[in-house]
Structure 1
Amino acid sequence: MRAGIGTALGNILWLTIKELRVLRADPVLLLLVAYTFTAAVYTVATGVKTEVRNAAVAVVDEDRSGLSRAVVAALLPPLFQPPVPLAPAEVAPALDAGRFVFVLQLPPRFESDLLAARPVNLGLDVDATAMAQAGNGAAYIQQIVQSTVAERLGSPPSPIELVIRLRFNPNGLPEWFTSVMQVMNSTLILSIILPGAALLREREHGTLEHLLAMPVTPLQILLAKIGANALVIVTAAILSLLLVVRGLLGVPIAGSVPLFVVGTMLFQVSVAALGVLLATMTSSTGQFGLLALPAFILMMLLSGSMTPLESMPGWLQHAVQVLPTTQFVAFAQSVLFRGAGLDIVAPRLAALAVLGVLFLGGAYLRLRDTLAS
Structure 2
Amino acid sequence: MITIFQPEKVNINGKLRLQAKFEAAGMKNVLWYETDEKYAPYLTSERVDAFLVGLIWLGLKTGQNIIVKGLLSEKLFYGLNHHLIPLIAQLYKYKTIQIQCDNLVSTPLPNEGAVGTGLSCGIDSLSTVYEHLGKSVPEHYQITHFTFFNTGSNQMMGSKQWQEKIFQERVEWAKACAAELGKELIVVDSNINEVLKMSFVKTHTLRNISALLVFQKLFRVYYYSAGYHVLQAKFNQDSASYDAISLPLLSTENVNFYSAGSSFTRVQKTKMVSDFEISYKYLNVCLFKTKNCGRCLKCKRTLLTLDILGSIEKYKNVFNLNAFYKIKDSYINEVLASRNNDPLFKDIYEEMVRRNYLKKRNDT
Q: Give 1 or 2 for the bigger CA radius of gyration.
A: 1
TM-score by length of 2: 0.23
RCO higher in 1 or 2 (8 Å CA, sep ≥ 6)?
A: 1
TM-score (norm 1): 0.23
Pick the structure with more strand per residue.
2
Larger fraction in helix? 1
